[in-house]
Chain A
Amino acid sequence: MSDAYSAAGRARWWGILAAACVIAVLPLVFRDSYWRTNLIVCALNVMLAIGLDFVVGYAGQLNLGQSAFYGIGAYVSTLLIMRLGLPFWPAFVCGVVASALSGMVLSLFAVRLRGHYLAIASLGFAVITYQVLLNWISLTQGPLGIYGIAPPPPVGLPGWQIDFTDLANLFYLVAGFALLSYVLLDQLVRSPIGETLTAIREDEVSAASLGINARLWKVFAFAVGTAVAGGAGCFYAGFVGTLVPDAFFITESFNILAMVIVGGMGTLSGPVFGAILLTVLPEFLRGIGDLRLIVYGLALTLVVLFMPGGIAQALRLARDRLMRASSRQTAGAKP
């Protein structure tokens, strides 16, 4: 038993190492600024999707407000930098903390509500956040927008400096954080905390009978999931250089949720692939012009209809079939 566990654990670390290698190689393969930009967008969306999956897939709390936390991270960090002159990294921490705190505020509703009620409450939260960003012009500039936001400052040792105006380096930074978030969430869901959250998701009443304080853990899940989204928001601002509230409209929440579903809810690796697929797919579809979003909508519907477990399920099926085929082969080889 423990043997199998550690084997699985080792496989997981190999997977993470492989992901790190892929991240290292990607900007070398994609050398033009367009694809490097898309790589960064992928990394941002991966953060948003795994953060949301932690709340929706593991803790079972239907959150339609992820766009709000993305926006809060972006605006809080940018305003601290531009208005109070804070350096990037302290502002980053503040952005993450602000997102997590607002996630905890929303989770107070999750303590009382479930299912679609929570879905609409979180949607309402996202609408209000968007409208505040839009209307509080004296603070956020509203629709007038904030321009010329600098990328994270260069870091490094004397003589060797990493400059984040270079898209490849910025990708390493964002993807590094995405990987870090993944590892942290992965550790969490595999720890007793993950079991606790799953127990709450499956049956809150029996979880309570086991002495689990569901309220506390829901607040915790929201704080973690939205903190990751806040981090993505901080990077978004420095990466795009422009902030307007429209970037954090509620439809962005649906996009992120679609990434989680298409990838496979309740697995961490699935939403990673879902985020990458749904970021890259519309870019590949640019060639077909006006049909682009029709095909995108159709594809999304078909995936849900025919592959409800998402990419994660499809991969599992493929792996099982492969293993069965190979075991049959080995069985056949023996006379």
Chain B
Amino acid sequence: MLTVALQQGINGLVLGSLYVLVALGLTLIYGVLVQINFAHADIVTLGAFSAYFFTHAFGGGYLPSIAVALLVGAALGFLINAAVFAPLRERGNELLPLIATIGVSVMLENVMLAWFGPIPYAFDSPYSERVIRFGGMFFTAQSVLIIAVSAAAIGLLYAFMKFTFLGKALRAVAQDRETAGLMGINPNRVIMLTFVIASALAGMGGAMLGPVLVLTPFAGASVIVKAFAIVIIGGFGNVEGTIIAGLIVGLIESYTTQVLGPGLIDIVVFALLLLMLAVRPTGLIAERREENV
């Protein structure tokens, strides 16, 4: 029984790391723009497909394919920002970009459906079949890779935010756009950059999720709602909170499966979400942004 409990802990952390990769981008965008991007899910899906075609159709390696997916995600983020968010930013209505990205999402999903078809792809990473066993427990090399890549991405993101000028500018814009502008920071540039980084993370997440997810044009949609929950539980725009919340949701998912049954996962996760909102709406970690509460 103890092995099963420990095993579920490992499963939860692996799954949680995947959720973190998806949710981090959403959090970044929210932190800087106070906007919700529904098309984020489709960037994840496209990332997964680009990694799939890079490895399976062009014979590329799996590790380079992660970089390919990252670039595809970044490019897509740039486009969505330029086409939807930048023109709508001036209007100052929080609802318009939300609805516009729902439209973009419907469009992207169905373009992918027309291109790739609805039949699930078998994305075999060389790491997903290698099973490591010890003490009655098991995990695949892919899960080790997922945790490693998530950790590396988070580390790099931190370093970027803390030590580079652009990173500092990004945080400045997130805290106060006008003052940042007065300090000579071009907010439009910074916002574009935020979008590119967030979407690159999503694309990379797609490459990591590809071998785990049921890879169809609807793959991203199946994780995005949970990613929203994670962003909220962690506190909108709060990177540390998002990481912790992602891992917690992963653990909830594996233990709910064990104890209550997988049908109840969403009920437990979203009940926690509502509880958080009722008790501590600023998220797990105390938050500076007060005006939305």
Q: List chain A positions with a Cβ less than 8 A from chain B.
A: 56, 62, 108-109, 112-117, 119-121, 123-125, 127-128, 131-132, 134-135, 250, 254, 257-258, 261, 265, 290-294, 296-305, 308
Contact = CB atoms under 8 A, between A and B. Distances in A.
A117 to B, nearest CB: 6
Nearest to A306: B87
B99 interface: yes
A-B pairs, 6 with minimum CB distance: A297-B107, A297-B106, A300-B103, A301-B103, A124-B270, A293-B110
Interface string B204-243: 0000000000000000000001001101100010000000
A115 B292 CA distance: 6
B226 to A, nearest CB: 9
Given A305-B87, A308-B91, A128 B225 contact: no
Contacts of A135: 263-264, 267
Given A125-B274, A300-B100, 17 more contacts: A56-B95, A62-B95, A112-B293, A121-B273, A124-B229, A127-B270, A254-B102, A261-B99, A293-B107, A297-B106, A297-B109, A297-B110, A298-B103, A298-B107, A300-B102, A300-B106, A301-B100
B278 A301 contact: no
A117 B281 contact: yes
B50 interface: no
A140 B102 CA distance: 30
B88 A301 contact: no
Contacts of B274: 109, 121, 124-125, 128
A257 B110 contact: no
B185 to A, nearest CB: 24
A251 B107 CA distance: 14
Nearest to A293: B110
Given A109-B278, A116-B30, A131 B266 contact: yes
Nearest to A132: B267
Give the bracket for the number of chain B residues in contact with chain A: 35 or more
A108 B111 CA distance: 40
Contacts of A291: 114
A127 B227 CA distance: 13
B293 A301 contact: no
Contact of A123 (B30, B103, B225): B225
B229 A120 contact: yes
A131 to B, nearest CB: 5
Contacts of A117: 232, 236, 277, 281, 292-293
A139 to B, nearest CB: 14
A296 B292 contact: no
B30 A128 contact: no
Interface string B18-44: 000000000000100010101000000
Given A127-B225, A131-B267, A304 B100 contact: yes
Given A113-B281, A300-B102, A304-B88, A261 B229 contact: no
B273 A301 contact: no
Contacts of A297: 103-110
30 contacts: A56-B95, A109-B274, A114-B292, A115-B94, A116-B236, A117-B292, A119-B36, A120-B277, A121-B274, A123-B228, A125-B274, A127-B225, A127-B270, A128-B267, A134-B263, A265-B95, A290-B114, A292-B110, A293-B106, A293-B107, A293-B109, A294-B107, A296-B106, A297-B108, A297-B109, A300-B99, A301-B103, A301-B104, A304-B103, A308-B96
B166 interface: no
A314 to B, nearest CB: 15
A138 B232 CA distance: 32
A293 B111 CA distance: 9
Contacts of B106: 293, 296-297, 300
B3 interface: no
A291 B106 CA distance: 12
Interface string B239-277: 000000000000000000000000110110011011001
A298 B84 CA distance: 12
Contacts of A261: 95-96, 99
Given A115-B94, A305-B88, A128 B103 contact: no
